[in-house]
Amino acid sequence: MDDACTINLTVRYLTKKWMLLIILELYKGDDHTRRFSDLRDSLDGITPKVLSERLKELEDEGILTRKVDATAFPIKAEYTLTASGLEIVEVIRGIKRWALKWKIENIPCGKQDCGVCVL
């Protein structure tokens, strides 16, 4: 089973839809932190179900930590990138560099102010 391979195990979840975008949103946040509704609003088109699933997977993988303040009302939940999560951003940068080098016709993200994947 090729699934036992580190690379594939990793790629499997890192490449699910929205995954990288969520990591980037967290990265862009103050202290690399963001709230649930904040993420939902930033990621145009994502549904709460999928966002919730992804956040749980990322937490399971140790890429982010979740802190809930249940005493507050309304409830406040914060998601923060861990050290390993911050390092994944480097991998994403690598992908972006590759893409910009070989797919230059793809203008949008060449801009420093690309709202989607600023790196």
Partner DNA sequence: CGGTATCCTTTCGGATACTG
Partner DNA sequence: CAGTATCCGAAAGGATACCG
Chain residues binding DNA by CB under 7 A are 16-18, 35-38, 45-50, 52-53, 55-56, 66, 68, 74-78
Q: Which amino acid is at 18?
A: W
State which residue, 74 or 108, has the beta carbon closest to its own copies.
108
d(CA 116, CA 108): 9
Alpha carbon 101 to its chain's center: 23
We find the least distance from the C-beta atom of residue 66 to DNA, in angstroms, to be 7
CA-CA distance, 83 to 85, in Å (whole number)? Answer: 5
Minimum distance between the CB of residue 63 and its own copies, rounded to whole angstroms? 9
Name which of its own copies, DNA, none residue 86 binds, using a CB cut-off of 5 to 8 Å depending on partner kind.
Answer: none
Task: Summarize as ranges the residues that interact with its own copies (CB under 8 A).
Answer: 2, 4-11, 14-15, 20-21, 43-45, 62, 84, 87-88, 90-92, 94-96, 98-103, 106, 108-110, 114, 116-117
Q: In angstroms, what is the minimal distance from the CB of 74 to DNA? A: 3
Mutual orientation of helices 19-28 and 6-14 as an angle, nearest 10°?
70
From the list DNA, its own copies, none, partner contacted by residue 31 (C-beta under 5 to 8 A by kind): none
Question: What is the full DSSP assignment across 63-108?
Answer: SEEEEEESSSSS-EEEEEE-HHHHHHHHHHHHHHHHHHHH-TT--G
